C-alpha cells in the first residue's frame, strides 16, 4: 500500500458527502479541498449531493417556515363571520382581511425574488419569516378592522419574501435532477398545510377565538426561524448594480391592476369605473415593464428567459392549472351546500379530500418525475385535471356524492402529479444567479391563476344561476366546471410544450453548467 493510501500519524478520517468514510493523508488536504471546490469533470449538472443529510436538513427547515407562515390562510376564511361580528361590521368589509394579503403577495413577489438574488436568499428568508411572527402578533392584537386588514396585508408582503426565498434555497441545495424530489415535499406542505389548518385551527377558533390562531402561528414562526438560523447555509450576494426600480413599479401596476380588477369585478360590477381602470392598467404596465427590462442593466425579469420553453410553458402551466384547481376548490363547497344540502361541517370534511390526495401524491410524484422526466408527469397531471372538471360537470343528485368525491380526488391527484415537475422545470431552466427570479415568477403566476380562477368560475356560476333552483342551478355549476375544463386543456398543452433536458439547446446547457460550477462554494 502506498503512503497516500496507508494509515499513520499523518492521516485523518474524512466523511465524504456520500456518507462513506475514507482515510486521507495530511499531505493530500490541499489537493482534496481544491478537488472538492472544483466543478465536476462530467458534462452533467453540478450541485450538492442528494445523499448528503445537510441538504435534506435545509429542505425540512425551509418547509417548517413555509408551513408556519401559510397555515392560517385557509382556516381564517372560515372565521370571517366571527371577525365581522366582533368588529360589528358586514361580511363584505371583512373579506379584505383575506384579499389584502393575496394582493400584496402577488404584487411584491417579482421584486422580492430579484432582491433575494442580490442580497442572498438566506437573509431574505429569515427576514421575511421573522417579520411574519411580528405581523401575526399584530393581527392577534388588532383593535380595529382597519388595523387588522393592514396587519394581514403586511403579512402577505413578507410572505412573498418567505415564499420566493425558501424555494430558491431549496433549488440551490439540490442537483438539477433531484430538485423535483424536493418539490414533491414542498407540494406536500403547500397542500397539507391547509388540511392541518382546518383541523387544528378550527379547534383553536372554537375554544379560544380567532385571535388565538395567530398567537399560535407566531410561536410556530419563532421555532422555524430559530431552526433556520442554525442550519441554513449562507448564499452569496448577486450581481452589483442599480436595482430595477422602473421594472418593479411597472410589474406592480400590471399585477395589481389584474388582481384588483378580478377581485372587485363580481361585487362592484365588471363595467364599474374601478374595474375598467384596473384592467386598463394591465397592458400599460406590461408595456412599460418590457421597455424597462430591455434598458435595465440588472433586469427584474431577463426577457430572454421567456424564450426558454421550460420557463415560459411551465409558468403558463402554473397559471392555468391553479386557475382550474382553485376555481373548482371554491365552487365545490357551494355545490355541496346548495345542490346536495350539506351543512358546513360535512362540506368541510368532504372537500378536504382534494388537498389530502394532493399532499399524499406529491412526494411520490417527485421521485417518479426524477425517473421518467418532468414532461410526461406534468402532461398526465394536465389530462387528469381536465378529467376532474369533466367529472364535476357530470354530477347530479342522481349520481350521488360519490362522483363529487371522485372528482375531488382526481383534482388532488392532478396537481400532486404536475406541481413538483413543473416547479423543477422552471428552476432548471435558469442560472443559479436567477433562481430568485424563477421562484418569484412561479409565485406570481400561481397567485394570478388562483385569484382569476376563483373569481371567473364563481362569476360564471352566479351569472348562469341567478335566483334559480333545481336543474337550472345545477346547470350553472356544470357551465362553470366546463370553463375550468377548457382552461385545464390549456395547462395540458403547456405541459406538452416542456422540453426534455436532452433537447435543451447547447447554449442553455453551457450556461447552466457554467452557472452551477460554484454551487458547492455558494453553500458555506
- 182-200 pLDDT, tens digit per residue, is 888 888 887 777 666 666 7
Q: Which fold has domain 304-518?
A: Growth Hormone; Chain: A; (1.20.1250)
Task: Report which listed range, 175-189, 212-226, 330-344, is most confident.
Answer: 212-226
25 strand-pairing partners: 11
Banded model confidence at residue 75, pLDDT cuts 50, 70, 90: low
Degrees (nearest 5) of the Cα angle 67, 68, 73? Answer: 80
What's the CA gap between 141 and 148, in Å, rounded?
8
Q: Please provide the average confidence, as pLDDT, over all residues in the chain.
A: 78
What's the CA gap between 69 and 217, in Å, rounded?
7
Q: Where are the domains of the chain?
A: 1-26, 55-244+296-300, 304-518
Q: Any idea which residue has 371522485 for its cell?
A: 406
- 438-449 pLDDT, tens digit per residue, is 888 888 888 888
- 168-177 pLDDT, tens digit per residue, is 898 888 888 8
* Dihedral sign (CA 479, 329, 376, 106): positive
Give the residue with greater pLDDT, 269 vs 45: 269
Q: Which residues contact 50 (CB under 8 A, 6 or more apart)?
A: 174, 175, 178, 181
- Provide, rounded to the nearest whole percent, the portion of the chain with pLDDT above 90: 27
DSSP state of 500: P
55-244+296-300: CATH homologous superfamily? Answer: MFS general substrate transporter like domains (1.20.1250.20)
HSE at residue 81, side-chain half, CA atoms within 13 A, is: 4
Degrees (nearest 5) of the Cα angle 460, 96, 476? Answer: 15
Q: What helix, strand, coil percent values describe the chain, rounded to 5? A: 80, 0, 20
Closest by CA to 120, choosing from 169, 175, 160, is 169
Whether 198 and 206 have beta carbons less than 8 Å apart is answered as no
- 272-320 pLDDT, tens digit per residue, is 888 899 999 999 999 998 998 888 887 888 888 889 999 999 999 999 9
Q: Look at residue 194 in the predicted model and tell me its pLDDT.
A: 63
Amino acid at each position: 500500500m502506498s503512503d497516500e493510501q496507508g494509515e499513520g500519524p499523518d492521516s485523518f478520517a474524512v466523511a465524504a458527502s456520500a456518507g462513506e468514510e475514507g482515510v486521507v493523508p495530511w499531505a493530500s488536504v490541499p489537493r482534496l479541498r481544491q478537488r472538492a471546490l472544483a466543478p465536476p469533470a462530467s458534462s452533467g449538472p453540478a450541485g450538492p449531493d442528494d445523499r448528503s443529510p445537510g441538504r435534506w436538513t435545509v429542505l425540512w427547515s425551509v418547509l417548517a417556515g413555509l408551513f408556519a407562515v401559510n397555515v392560517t390562510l385557509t382556516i381564517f376564511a372560515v372565521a370571517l363571520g366571527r371577525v365581522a361580528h366582533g368588529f360589528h361590521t358586514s361580511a363584505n368589509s371583512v373579506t379584505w382581511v383575506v384579499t389584502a394579503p393575496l394582493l400584496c403577495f402577488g404584487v411584491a413577489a417579482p421584486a422580492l425574488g430579484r432582491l433575494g438574488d442580490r442580497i442572498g436568499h438566506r437573509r431574505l428568508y429569515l427576514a421575511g419569516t421573522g417579520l411574519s411572527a411580528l405581523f401575526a402578533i399584530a393581527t392577534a392584537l388588532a383593535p380595529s378592522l382597519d388595523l387588522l386588514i393592514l396587519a394581514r396585508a403586511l403579512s402577505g408582503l413578507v410572505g412573498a419574501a418567505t415564499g420566493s426565498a425558501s424555494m430558491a434555497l431549496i433549488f440551490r441545495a439540490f442537483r438539477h435532477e433531484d430538485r423535483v424530489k424536493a418539490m414533491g415535499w414542498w407540494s406536500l406542505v403547500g397542500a397539507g398545510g391547509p388540511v392541518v389548518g382546518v383541523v387544528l385551527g378550527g379547534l383553536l377558533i372554537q375554544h379560544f377565538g380567532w385571535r388565538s390562531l395567530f398567537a399560535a402561528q407566531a410561536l410556530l414562526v419563532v421555532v422555524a426561524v430559530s431552526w433556520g438560523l442554525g442550519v441554513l447555509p449562507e448564499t452569496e450576494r448577486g450581481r452589483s448594480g442599480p436595482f430595477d426600480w422602473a421594472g418593479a413599479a411597472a410589474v406592480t401596476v400590471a399585477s395589481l391592476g389584474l388582481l384588483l380588477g378580478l377581485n372587485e369585478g363580481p361585487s362592484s360590477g365588471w363595467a364599474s369605473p374601478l374595474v375598467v381602470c384596473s384592467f386598463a392598467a394591465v397592458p400599460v404596465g406590461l408595456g412599460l415593464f418590457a421597455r424597462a427590462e430591455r434598458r435595465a442593466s440588472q433586469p427584474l425579469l431577463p426577457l430572454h428567459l421567456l424564450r426558454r420553453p421550460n420557463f415560459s410553458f411551465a409558468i403558463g402551466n402554473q397559471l392555468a392549472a391553479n386557475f382550474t384547481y382553485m376555481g373548482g376548490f371554491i365552487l365545490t363547497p357551494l355545490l355541496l351546500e346548495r345542490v346536495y344540502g350539506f351543512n358546513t361541517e360535512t362540506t368541510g370534511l368532504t372537500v378536504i379530500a382534494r388537498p389530502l390526495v394532493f399532499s399524499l401524491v406529491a412526494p411520490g410524484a417527485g421521485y417518479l418525475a426524477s425517473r421518467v422526466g418532468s414532461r410526461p408527469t406534468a402532461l398526465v397531471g394536465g389530462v387528469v385535471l381536465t378529467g376532474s372538471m369533466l367529472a364535476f360537470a357530470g354530477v347530479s343528485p342522481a349520481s350521488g356524492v360519490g362522483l363529487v368525491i371522485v372528482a375531488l380526488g382526481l383534482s388532488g391527484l392532478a396537481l400532486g402529479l404536475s406541481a413538483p415537475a413543473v416547479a423543477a422545470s422552471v428552476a432548471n431552466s435558469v442560472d443559479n444567479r436567477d433562481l430568485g427570479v424563477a421562484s418569484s415568477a412561479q409565485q406570481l403566476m400561481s397567485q394570478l391563476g388562483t385569484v382569476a380562477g376563483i373569481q371567473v368560475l364563481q362569476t360564471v356560476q352566479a351569472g348562469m344561476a341567478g335566483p334559480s333552483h333545481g336543474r337550472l342551478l345545477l346547470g350553472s355549476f356544470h357551465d362553470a366546471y366546463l370553463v375550468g375544463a377548457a382552461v385545464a386543456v390549456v395547462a395540458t398543452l403547456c405541459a406538452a410544450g416542456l422540453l426534455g433536458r436532452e433537447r435543451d439547446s447547447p447554449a442553455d446547457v453551457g450556461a447552466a453548467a457554467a452557472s452551477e460550477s460554484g454551487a458547492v462554494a455558494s453553500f458555506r
